[in-house]
Structure 1
């Protein structure tokens, strides 16, 4: 007998989609901050205020943003999320972004650069909170809501293997939509540069526009429920039960929800024995436990590679790069906006293929496509210097679009899917924050390297990132096991084995065999079945419902 009802547009499903769509507004704030800066860097009014900044100064303005995100990931985001809950932490992060935006908009006079730098740091700190709180909250809601043969949980909650990647990728759709909105607004502001008022206010207004979606995001948060695990941690079991029932309505039976709530309560009150020694010092638990550290360094490196592939430079300097290929200033901005809009479509496609082709398959294919695109953009300008060939320039522009498609199919969304699902429940928030700091470090490096490298090497800088993209393929193949459809119990097994790719195939075969056995033999789910489940039955807090299945089989 199936433990969960077929997934359809039930009331619970509708609530989930509405909730995730609202949370995507938070992710769009993160994207808008990136998209709008790429247009500001080439805005004549901004350049005049900062005295026509050099490439190194533009790199500094870009890079300090990631210094803010890095500080937030390491010091701010996790404590806020644990103390206030995911949704309130996301609201605080949005307010911090608004503060930073106002500071940047006030830039002027001799202190203009200082205002820009401090505003960027403050925005980065806010984005660091939003960019981890929102994905964790979205994952929790999606995993809590749906149940099927593949179990994976945050706060001891479950998700179907066939749907998990889609809901995580939805967060990236909001992020890319925010970047596209920033570029389109920046393009629109180019029509307001003929007057002195337009030059003065254009780029400032484009920064302040994000206050409106931030306001909508913040006022909507009080109407969203807190996550069950956080509610149980705060002793609010009744509220946790109501949240579970509301988001599961029509998708699974009430008896299963009751058992799940019991499993969550047991897991929250009793950390898994395999990690208990590490929890004596929470700040070092991810480094002391070999299995946890194996996950941490992989997630950190993956986030680092996702920026070192050149994505950070493409996000910020795309209009400048297109100008170098012979496009007029306004046309370059429009082309950048079109490119980012294309990314939205590719990310939506990724939502539906990541659970079919797997995480590592998408990552390797995306890296290969990006490497080829970088190679074309590196060699063609060397063969046809000075924009002497319109055909060569057009091919380069086309491959910038192809690069964007590769990123949206691979490293863009898939790194967040992979990084979030490999950590056990108790360590997911801390692990994701530390892993995300790898992306911040990579972004700081790229934002400093690209403008200077482009000035010194010209198109040769593309070849540096071509090599990095091609190197990502064997690294992912050798060191990253496939996690599609894996339970967290299987994650424990995967990451105890350094040679994980071979081991992941073994685990997959065993998982298929177990699932087939369960489909044939699982006992009917009846009231009272599984009563007397004790804490050791949910020793791994991420597999509460697997424990229920084993009880029914009598093979704990």
Structure 2
């Protein structure tokens, strides 16, 4: 698009769509308050998505593992302090590397929906395996004992788990939320998303120690169920935003109908055509003079 001339049809069509969206947004901004921002046409579902996506992200289990990694690793058999801390450190390194690789090389090729779906399915399957292993092979009670093979297998599953988390439900909720909100309500949307994320984060951090103690292996089965039953289903239900413009988001969420958008674009194209013709006529007159 950058290599095309200003009067190219594709450039003019893109310009007309942007101008139409700006005009629609200008009209929508009139009298914009909290009520209109949250309950205006096509807005409420975006706020629901912003809240639910972070509810699922927090209850998918990652921050429970992240905040209480030493206790989690102790629960699967890394009973010594040095062993649990070493396993926790490796977990953090794997998370950073996996996130960097995904953000730089895969985020725009897989799309939002597919990345979130693969991420949630991978996390859920691995949590089911960890829960089954922990139930079948309980960790040793001797704190000085070396981690048995089953514990090493569960630790490896946790490392694989954080790779799947890093390719989807780690970074993408923030990307997705910024994709779906128009300029006029984005500050409300991002504020709501951030508040939701920290609220659910706080609740989860408070209840995780008790869940680890009381549930044992069942905590992993609970997270697995949330990942597959909730997060994977949610990923399939939301619209794809990869390659979509902000102007298209209003049509997808029903803020403006496709027919209305086409009518607005046609009006802007006529206005652009009129401006171009006037400019051409003025230049012709100047050249004759």
TM above 0.5, one fold?
yes
Once residues 62 and 270 of structure 2 are traced to their aligned partners in structure 1, the CA distance between those partners, rounded to angstroms, is 44
User: Is 1:347 paired with 2:106?
Assistant: no
CA contact (8 A) 2:178 2:190 kept: yes
SS at match of 1:291: coil
Partner of 2:57 in structure 1?
A: 306
1:313 deviates by 0.6
Q: Is the 8 A contact 2:75 2:216 kept in 1?
A: no
Q: What displacement does 1:439 show?
A: 1.6
**What does residue range 20-169 of structure 1 map to in structure 2 within 5 Å?**
none
Q: Is 1:287 matched up with 2:38?
A: yes
Partner of 2:120: 367
Gaps of 5+ in 2: 7-15, 142-146, 259-263, 276-289
TM-score normalised per structure 2: 0.76
Q: Given the alignment, which residue of 405, 421, 425 partners 2:183?
A: 425
Partners of 2:178 and 2:186 within 8 A in 1: yes
Aligned to 1:396: 154
CA distance in 2, matches of 1:431, 1:445: 21
Asked if residue 383 in structure 1 is aligned to residue 142 in structure 2, the reply is no
Structure 1's 323 and 553: CA in aligned 2 closer, same or farther, altered over 3 A? farther
**Aligned residue in 2 for 1:519:** none
Does residue 473 of the first structure (1) align with residue 224 of the second (2)?
no
Report the counterpart of residue 447 of structure 1 in structure 2. Answer: 205
Question: C-alpha distance in 1, partners of 2:38/2:185?
Answer: 11
Q: Which residue of 2 aligns with 1:329?
A: 81
- Contact 1:387–1:393 (Cα < 8 Å) also in 2: no
When residues 356 and 400 of structure 1 are mapped into structure 2, their CA distance, relative to the original with a 3 A threshold, is: same
Distance (Å, rounded) in 1 between the aligned partners of 2:234 and 2:43: 19
Supply the distance in 2 between the matched residues of 1:481 and 1:453 (Cα, whole angstroms): 34
Structure 1 gap ranges (5+): 6-251, 255-262, 498-506, 508-535, 540-546
CA contact (8 A) 1:305 1:442 kept: no
How big is each residue's C-alpha offset from its partner over 1:254-285, in whole Å with a ceiling of 9 and x where there is no partner? 9xxxxxxxx9xx99x97725523xx5252223
The corresponding residue for 1:320 is 71
Taking a change above 3 Å as real, the CA distance of residues 274 and 470 of structure 1, as seen in their structure-2 partners, is: farther
The answer to whether the 8 A contact 2:76-2:138 is kept is no
Q: For structure 1, which segment, 410-419 or 447-456, has the greater mean C-alpha deviation from structure 2 after superposition?
A: 447-456
Give the Cα separation in 2 of the matches to 1:474 and 1:395: 28
Deviation at 1:304, TM superposition (A): 1.4
Q: Quick one: which of 482, 491, 497 aligns to 2:249?
A: 491
Q: Report if aligned partners of 1:294, 1:496 keep a CA contact under 8 Å in 2.
A: no
Matched residue, 1:522: none
Which secondary structure state, in structure 2, belongs to the residue aligned with residue 405 of structure 1? helix
Superposition deviation, residue 253 in structure 1: 9.8
Name the structure 2 match of 1:90.
none
Residue of 1, 4, 29 corresponding to 2:2: 4
Rg larger for: 2
TM-score (norm 1): 0.41
Q: Structure 1: how far apart are the matches of 2:274 and 2:242? A: 25
Aligned equivalents of 1:468, 1:350: Cα separation in 2: 23
User: Where in structure 2 are the equivalents of 1:174-189 lying within 5 Å?
Assistant: none
Question: Aligned residues, how many?
Answer: 253
**Residues 323/4 of structure 1: CA separation in 2 closer, same or farther (3 Å cut):** same
- Give the Cα–Cα distance (whole angstroms) in 2 for the partners of residues 549 and 451 of structure 1: 64
Aligned partner of 2:240 in structure 1 is 482
With over 3 angstroms needed to count, the CA separation of the structure-2 counterparts of 1:553 and 1:444, relative to structure 1, is farther
Q: Does 1:437 align with 2:201?
A: no
3-state secondary structure, aligned to 2:77:
coil
Cα RMSD after superposing both structures: 3.5
More relative contact order, 1 or 2 (CA 8 Å, 6+ apart): 2
The alpha-carbon deviation at position 474 of structure 1 amounts to 1.5
Q: Residues 384 and 280 from structure 1, CA distance in 2 versus in 1: closer, same or farther, beyond 3 angstroms?
A: same
